[in-house]
Chains A and B, each alone.
Chain A
Amino acid sequence: MADEPAPDAAAEATDDPADAPNPDHDTMLATLRDRLGADAVVETATAYGDLIVRVAPDRWLDAATVAANDLACDYLSFIAGLDWEPAAREGDEAGGDTSSPVQPTERTYGAAGSNGRFQVFAHVQSTRQPRGLTLKTDVDEHAPAVASWVGVYPGADWHERECWEMFGIGFDGHPSLRHLYLPSEFEGHPLRKDFPLLARVVKPWPGLVDVEGMPGDAEATPVADAGDTPAVEAGDAEATS
């Protein structure tokens, strides 16, 4: 597990046969650098045949324009948010929930890196040639907002509304940022990592204790050590051996 931002992306790119150098990636990168300026393309990576380009936040809209006009990527797959904050730890810090998979506790960033906690990423592709591209940009944690893509891809409308309600990331220039899935009085941003899974808060995961004591049984309450060694821990030991 790496502490520093994403050294894995480059390593994967070399040892995976699916990541043979793709000449089209170089063409796309050259066009992006040419149209946006070399410093607007912050970092790039390849992951399993997909080109990932991280662009400067202030060039987010320009990146979409270049992708749509110069790279022939006329089709928008999705726009979504990312929260790199480590997930709540199991045990006491997760409200006693030991059922969810244990994620690393230090913050690491994915392919093409990140400058902070939040990112917005999107996938665009061409319907005319086999070509696709993932674009990422950093979002300021304290004033989370980027430019809206609605003017370039009309389908961005709903994706950005979803991202806004799930991550609290604003989109400047969006015609009407309002709730998409959730009721309009909903507070909070559910897909942020610090937002608990409410179903587990209300009632602990029942799968941990399989046997319920009979009424009147002295040991009716679940044994304490049964909760301390969840299945995931056993799996850790097995996988490393």
Chain B
Amino acid sequence: MSTTGTPVTGFEVARSSLRHLADAQVNVELDTGDMILNLGPQHPATHGTLRIVVRLDGERVVSADPIIGYMHRGYEKLTEFRTYPQITTLINRIDWLSSFANEVPFMTAAEQLMGIEAPPRSVYIRTVLTELSRIATFLLFLGEMGLQVGALTPAFYGFRDREYVLNLIEAATGGRFHPNFNRIGGLKDDLPWGWIAECRSTMKVVLDSCDDFEDLVLGNEIFEARTRGIGIIPAGTGAGYGVSGSNLRASGVDWDLRRDRPYLAYPDVDFRVWTHSDGDSYARYWVRLQETREAARIVLQCLNQIPSGPIMAKVPRIIKVPEGEVWVETENPLGQMGYYVISKGATGPFRVKIRSASFSNVSILPWLLRGVYVPDVITILASLYFILGDIDR
């Protein structure tokens, strides 16, 4: 480009256009066309085996195509070959970070079809353990999200505090990750002696740890720069894609199945549904942090109100579920989890449709990743927070 506004001589005109030509030539040589980047299936940000084929123009994503199924175990088919009590083992492994929360809707579905009601004490223990799984899942997220933007410290805090909660779950159920503790009509065991006091003190640790995360991560300038305004999901688009849970509440949708379709002991406890209007990665982190606190408060309330009594209803020794179909959905840590169970009166279901949260949460990626920069892909993946077992089932 000529610096002198209007060219004075013909020579200058020629030189100017020559320079344009030279620039064009350089651009042609540097133009590498679209580059295809294979993100995963082993990339750490993908929590397992999600592969995303990203087409890049420079640093910008032109299109992204998530390829899933590396961990597909065919649970919908397997349920047709199992009896109802055997299926608990399978559904424990859908979202393996909050296995207990996976069991609850399936057990509720079977109980509804059989006309059994779980005793109040077991309902309260179910609520407590569901919220404990939520805390464990979110503490991992709160630490790991820092890791994805380059901060190592929060990860240690997250893993350490999650271990306290996992110890509680292990003490009550016998399993850290796969409790397999629900039975149709109640629970396997009552809480061990002294567990409630232990749980109370751990919840105080969790609440303190949430304050730490607020200081460490949310107040961090670099974290804000990496997450504010990145990966914005508008409320309407998110709902259309079936994005649920904290991801949707971070987009300002005031929708929580615990409050809007009350189940377990949630009608009896007082809790707030947190929303954020921004819909970006920062908002998703913020909402999950608040929900971790809220979950700890729900646990404390439940522990104060927990009734005494039996933990199992009267259930026939051989579980036969009468003919019928039922749709049960719950608010799991990762979002809406539902089972559509169709029974034909046998010892096993005829068909189970498993609606898992991460599947729909990730299906928005082709839309969401269009036009973002490569480093932001990682923070968006981290902030959506999915579990591969919950996508692939």
Contacts and interface: CB of A to CB of B under 8 A. Distances in A.
B261 interface: yes
B386 to A, nearest CB: 13
Given A180-B68, A200-B81, A87 B347 contact: no
Interface in A49-71: 50, 52
Interface in A123-180: 123, 127-128, 130, 132, 134, 153-155, 157-158, 166, 179-180
Contact of B82 (A48, A80, A100): A100
A158 B327 CA distance: 20
Contact of A111 (B83, B325, B355): B325
Interface stretch (A29-37, A214-222, A232-240): A232-240
Contacts of A208: none
A47 B325 contact: yes
Interface string A71-87: 00011111010110001
A209 interface: no
B353 A130 contact: no
Given A78-B338, A87-B350, A155-B242, A103 B81 contact: no
A47 B261 contact: no
A61 to B, nearest CB: 15
Contact of B112 (A1, A48, A121, A128): A48
A104 B76 CA distance: 19
A197 interface: yes
A104 B329 contact: no
B252 to A, nearest CB: 10
B112 A232 contact: no
B77 A77 contact: no
Given A74-B239, A130-B260, A239-B316, A181 B347 contact: no
B360 to A, nearest CB: 6
Given A100-B348, A238-B318, A87 B324 contact: no
A80 B363 contact: no
A123 B338 contact: yes
A77 B242 contact: yes
B80 A100 contact: yes
Interface in B350-393: 350-351, 353, 355, 359-360, 363-364, 367, 392
B255 interface: yes
A232 B347 contact: yes
A2 interface: yes
Name the interface size band of chain B. Answer: 35 or more
A108 B344 contact: yes
B81 A100 contact: yes
A197 B347 contact: no
Given A103-B346, A155-B240, A47 B324 contact: yes
B208 to A, nearest CB: 33
B58 interface: no
Contacts of A9: 324
B345 interface: yes
Nearest to B338: A77
Contacts of B348: 100-101, 103
B248 A127 contact: yes
A1 B346 CA distance: 10
Interface of A: 1-2, 8-9, 12, 16, 18, 47-48, 50, 52, 74-78, 80, 82-83, 87, 99-104, 108, 110-111, 121, 123, 127-128, 130, 132, 134, 153-155, 157-158, 166, 179-183, 190-191, 197, 200, 232, 235-236, 238-239
Given A87-B350, A239-B316, 18 more contacts: A1-B323, A52-B325, A74-B240, A75-B239, A77-B242, A78-B338, A78-B353, A103-B346, A121-B340, A127-B239, A154-B240, A155-B360, A157-B363, A166-B76, A191-B76, A232-B347, A235-B318, A238-B317
27 contacts: A47-B326, A50-B326, A50-B327, A52-B325, A74-B239, A76-B240, A76-B360, A78-B242, A78-B340, A80-B353, A87-B80, A87-B350, A101-B346, A104-B345, A111-B324, A127-B248, A130-B260, A130-B261, A154-B237, A155-B243, A158-B359, A158-B360, A180-B68, A180-B69, A181-B69, A191-B76, A200-B81
**Which 10 residue pairs across A and B have the least CB separation, nearest first?**
A101-B348, A235-B318, A181-B69, A155-B242, A155-B241, A100-B81, A181-B72, A127-B255, A101-B347, A158-B363
